Amino acid sequence: MSLVAISSVDASNARQYIQVMESLGAAVRLLTPEADGPAEDLLQGAGGLLLSGGPDVDPARYGAAPDPSAGLHLCRPLDALELKLLDYALGRDMPVLAICRGMQLLNVAFGGKLIQDLPDHREEDHEGELVSRKHSIFLSPGSKAAAIIGSAGFFRVNSRHHQGLREAQRAPRLMSTAYSVEDGLVEGLESVEHSWVIGLQCHPERQDEVPRSFANLFAALAERAEGFGGSQGLSSINIK
């Protein structure tokens, strides 16, 4: 059985990610900002890391001052935890799936920046209930995500974020693999330096809001995690 570590601001936020991974037969270790200790101990025995959606990444992490009009919701202890976990995972070529905030953090970890407010991509209020926006993305042929999903091309997906990046903010060492059709926002990132590091801006864990084939990403993470050898892979990769 594979063991996947899931980082999240709290258990409630992680609920859907946990349900999806457990439905695939994977064991899950939830890591929240209260988790203490070195990354080596927190990820002991884990074969994969899932960085979930959540609060905004602190602009100080990419050398910017907070925009007072952006309505930022920060959790600096989560930033510190996830950067620590990601550094350890990347250094050992551990499989990483980074979703929404997770993809943004991945970009920051590699030296990229973020746009602090994108109001046209956040949830919409329908009679007091926040519901996902929908938009079209183009997923590039040849990307790992396209191979896992089973096809490239145009997809209709959800959108629940107000931060993100375009090519100007992308870390040069990451490859853009998907774009928003409407405005060119980067919707997918992958590391060419690692075996399996995939970031998506949409929320595939909300399975009724994306194509069914997107569930293959979680199945692939579980499979990769099961085959991951804890001491194998790259002995040292500096992500900065």
**Residue whose C-alpha is closest to residue 53's, from 139, 162, 135:** 162
Q: Kindly give the pairing relationship between strand 48-51 and strand 3-7.
A: parallel
Alpha helices in the chain (DSSP H): 11-23, 39-42, 76-91, 101-109, 144-149, 216-227
Active-site residue, from 121, 135, 161, 203: 203
Residue 121 a catalytic site member: no
List 100, 121, 135, 161, catalytic entry: 100
Beta-strand pair 186-191/174-180: antiparallel
Does residue 205 have an active-site annotation? yes
Catalytic position from the list 82, 187, 205, 223: 205
- Residues 169 and 113 sit within 8 Å (Cβ to Cβ): yes
C-alpha torsion sign, points 66, 160, 200, 179: negative
How does DSSP assign 152-205, residue by residue? -EEEEEEE--S-B--TTTS-TTEEEEEEETTT--EEEEEETTSSSEEEESS-TT
> Does 203 participate in catalysis according to the annotation?
yes
Query: What does the alpha-carbon distance between residue 69 and residue 117 come to, in Å, rounded to a whole number?
Result: 8
- By 3-state DSSP, what share of the chain in percent is helix, strand and coil, each rounded to 5? 30, 25, 45
CA pair distance 67, 69, nearest whole angstrom: 5
Residue positions annotated with a catalytic role: 100, 203, 205
